[in-house]
Structure formats: structure tokens, C-alpha cells
Amino acid sequence: MIIMPAIDLYNGQVVRLTRGDFSKMTAYSNDPCAIAQYFKDVGCTHLHVVDLEGAKSGEPKHLDTLSEITKLGFITEYGGGVRSREAIKDVMQAGAFRVMIGSLLFKTDGMSKELFEEFGNKLMPVLDTKGNRVVVSGWKKQTNLSPRAALVKLYKEGYKVFLVTAVDRDGDLQGPDLELYRNLVGDSTSIIAAGGISCIDDLISLKDVGVAGAVVGKAVYEGSVNIGEALKIARQ
């Protein structure tokens, strides 16, 4: 299992939301690159970067920061406000290894297939879930798809790696939605889990479920998960 520390960006700051609520935002640093360097120094190889400002506005707002972070040598996944082909290309040019997309996939019936044909698995579908439905547009709009139905549809089109976030648990440190991931993990897909991770035991539980990776955010910033210990658990 791969540990992916999260750097969520808003107005140039490293922040965290609680349950996707922009009115419940906590700022942790004014220096995203320093935070990234710390993660590099303790041994992280992957980084999960979310442009929350971009998610809210509908276009990426932190590509310069992304460019600086990727120079540190991370395998970086980046998302937030990536709602056009041009934005995908801009994020790739800024150095992202994989681009996270959500809203754009569900814009029209044929969009997700067209995007895969153009960009392949450089794209990672983001299945943000609330009340057993996928939500988009900065978690403000609900689709009529369950996480399972969305995954099956996208898998048939060629997608293999998925970020699945339990938005109802994101940032609340109440533990991941293990049942959600049990319902999605399969031999031919790679699931990256996010939302609710609060301690090392949560990471062990996710590893037992069979997810390919786990995004750790608030728990690291609040000190309930030691990132070095998390890396050891993931490698066992």
C-alpha cells in the first residue's frame, strides 16, 4: 500500500476542510513547498495535491506551486478545478504524474470515454461520495450514480486507478468507510482511499481491505499519525 500525504491548497496556504465544508477550513502553513520537503525528507515518494481554491472556482489556481513541488521528485497526483482538456494539459505541463478529475467525467454522457481515449491512465477518476452518491463541482452537486455504478462504468471505458473519498468523513478523524472500499476493491482496479483516516490502525484496516493507497491529511497535521510510522506499516 502506498501512503500519500495530502497538501490541500487555498490562497497559497496548506489547509484542511472538515467534510468538504469550505466554512470549516483550518490553515496549517503558508509554505507548501516546505511541507512537501518535509514529506520528502521522511521518505515519502508520492504526494496528493488538491487545489481547493480551484475546485471552488472551476479552474486550477496553484499550478506554479505544483511546478515547484514536482521539482522535489515526487510522483504527484493533482486535482481541483480541472474541468477542461486545456486544464488537464496545463496540470500535466506543470509536472503532475497523474491528473485527478471528477466533474469533467460526468459533464456529458460520452465525455469520460473521450477523455480516456485522449489521455489514458494519466487521468485518475475522483469518486467523491456522499450518501452513497458521487458528488461533483466542489462537492456541491450530486449525481445519480453510486460509487460502484460509477466505477463499473469508468472501468469498462479503460480507467484502472480511482481515488475514492468519503466526503462525509473527510477531515473529521472518525475513521475510514471500510465498507465503501470493500464494495469497490477488485483484482483489476487500484483504489486510493481518502477520508476519515485518524490513526495507524485505520491504515492497517485499509491495507487489510486491499486498497492500493491511502491519502493521509489532517491526521498528519494534527499529529495523530506519524508519517514515518505510516510508511513502515505500508511496506510490511
Any catalytic annotation for residue 208?
no
Cell numbers at 29, concatenated: 502553513
Any catalytic annotation for residue 8?
yes
Of 8, 51, 177, 202, catalytic: 8
3-class secondary structure per residue, 186-197: CCCCEEEEECCC
Of 51, 128, 177, 202, catalytic: 128
Buried b (16+ CB within 10 A) or exposed e, 134-156: bbbbbbeeebebbbeebbebbee
Which amino acid does the sequence have at 90?
D
CA 23 to CA 222: how far, in whole Å? 19
CA 25 to CA 136: how far, in whole Å? 19
Place of cell 494534527: 222
CA 137 to CA 36: how far, in whole Å? 27
CA 1 to CA 47: how far, in whole Å? 14
Q: Which residues are catalytic?
A: 8, 128
